[in-house]
Amino acid sequence: MTSQTERSLVLVKPDGFRRGLTGEVLRRIEAKGYTLAALAVLTPTREQLAAHYAEHEGKPFYEPLVEFMSSGPIAAVVIEGQGCIPGFRSLAGATNPTDAAPGTIRGDLSRDWGTAVQQNIVHGSDSPESATREIGIWFPNL
């Protein structure tokens, strides 16, 4: 890893995993040129989700978010490459799938299902500090 290389934590959320879209998400990451540094399939515990989503505790969508994220298996992925933190956020698109542009993961593959929490296929770290913290939650041995 060069000094400029960065890593980001990507989650294929239960909606994406359940719908068989993990391969499509990984395809877009690899087609962009980022590499996979770690990959795991697991059902998140509440403890992992409380740590991962600590910044959202107390918000109206927090409980539905934790409920949704623990509803089934996810794919946790560490990706690598210069600029991959903002780069993956661009690939993912806007948080709300209705607003996400066509061509993005959320714009192409999701929609508003009328649920209390947005089901938007993927999570991606939003800063180098978040990436380091989040990778430690999902891959403590990395």
Active site residue ranges? 123
CB of 3 to ligand DAT, least distance (A): 26
Residue 42 one-letter amino acid: L
Tell me the two tokens of residue 100: 């996400």
* C-alpha span between 63 and 85 (Å, rounded): 26
Query: Minimal CB distance to ligand DAT: which residue?
Result: 95
Closest CA to 123 of 4, 6, 11: 11
Tell me the two tokens of residue 130: 């978040």
Chain residues that interact with ligand DAT, rule: CB under 6 A = 56, 61, 65, 95, 117-118, 120, 123, 126
| C-beta closer to ligand DAT: residue 37 or 106 | 106
CB of 74 to ligand DAT, least distance (A): 13
| C-beta closer to ligand DAT: residue 61 or 139 | 61
| C-beta closer to ligand DAT: residue 2 or 53 | 53
User: How do beta strands 7-12 and 35-42 pair?
Assistant: unpaired
